[in-house]
Amino acid sequence: MLITFEGIEGCGKSTQCRLLFDLIEKTRPGSALLTREPGGSRLGRKLRSILLDPTNTGLCSEAELFLYLSDRAQHRAEIIKPALQAGRTVIIDRFTDSTLAYQGYGRGLDLMTLKNLNELAVQGTRPDLSVLIDLPAEIGLRRALTRNRLLQQTDEGRFEAEELSFHHRVRLGFLELAAKEPGRFLVLDGSSDREVIFAGIKQGIGDRFPLLLPAPDQA
């Protein structure tokens, strides 16, 4: 099973990815894999340093897109596909929907072209469930900037430097994608406490895939 987490900067999806991974591993050690984009593969880690480096202000939209697609293609071949074939539950912090939201709605690149290029990169690998943690752009950006400052992440933050209007477009993109595929998406309010959000994730997964998570008395 492939579960992806999506959302704007600062929405808290990385925290929720880790909580879900830990819950599955608690009862079935070795049955889950937690990974991310960009940076899930060896090549991806090098690409991540380029894509998120705030000094790379001159990176054009098309170059940015192809770097992300290169990361995704290698990630799928090296990490995702082998794990799925081994029967593991793969949890990814960002996947194909982020390309549509950021490079499509955010940058203005053609959505159909992006969908076709995504398909080339993933070769039919699609999420069984996509968790969208929705949050107003102002709140998410403020959280992300605070996080970067506290963690002294000087090598990441290129997207946090974008205008607020960009983040508004990205959020709208995610919501429109979710509205078009309600059967795949689970949309949750990111302004809630992390425990409340995680409870919603567990309920949503339990309703759709009741055998994936441990019984309540085991959690």
pLDDT tens digits along 42-59? 999 999 999 999 889 889
What confidence tens digit (pLDDT) does each residue in 121-154 have?
999 999 999 999 999 999 998 888 888 777 777 6
Within 13 Å and on the Cβ side, how many CA atoms surround 20?
33
Count of C-beta atoms within a 10 Å radius of residue 200:
18
Question: Which two tokens mark 127?
Answer: 């999420």
Average pLDDT for 193-212: 94
Mean pLDDT of 109-128: 98
Q: Is the pLDDT of residue 79 over 70?
A: yes
**Rounded mean pLDDT of 28-44?**
96
Crossing angle, helix 61-75 and helix 111-122, to 10 degrees?
Answer: 30
Note whether 186 and 129 are within 8 A (CB). yes
Q: What is the pLDDT of residue 157?
A: 76
Residue 218 has pLDDT above 60, yes or no: no
> How high does pLDDT run on average in the chain?
93
Q: Which residue has the higher pLDDT, 157 or 124?
A: 124
- Name the DSSP letter for residue 212: T
% of the chain exceeding 90 in pLDDT? 82
Could you give the CA distance from residue 125 to residue 109 in angstroms, rounded to a whole number? Answer: 22
The ranges assigned to domains in the chain are 2-208
Supply the pLDDT for residue 200.
97
The pTM for the full model equals 0.93
pLDDT tier, 27 (very low <50, low <70, confident <90, very high otherwise): confident
The CB density around residue 80, as the number of other CB atoms within 10 Å, is: 24
Looking at the DSSP assignment, which residues form a beta bridge with residue 133? 188
- Classify burial at 177, counting beta carbons within 10 Å of its beta carbon; exposed 0-12, middle 13-18, buried 19 or more: buried
CATH code for the domain defined by 2-208: 3.40.50.300
Q: What is the per-residue pLDDT across 6-20, written as a single tens digit (0 to 9) for each?
A: 999 999 999 999 999
Interatomic CA distance for residues 58 and 69, integer angstroms: 19
Specify whether the CB–CB gap between 135 and 190 falls below 8 A: yes
DSSP state of 10: T
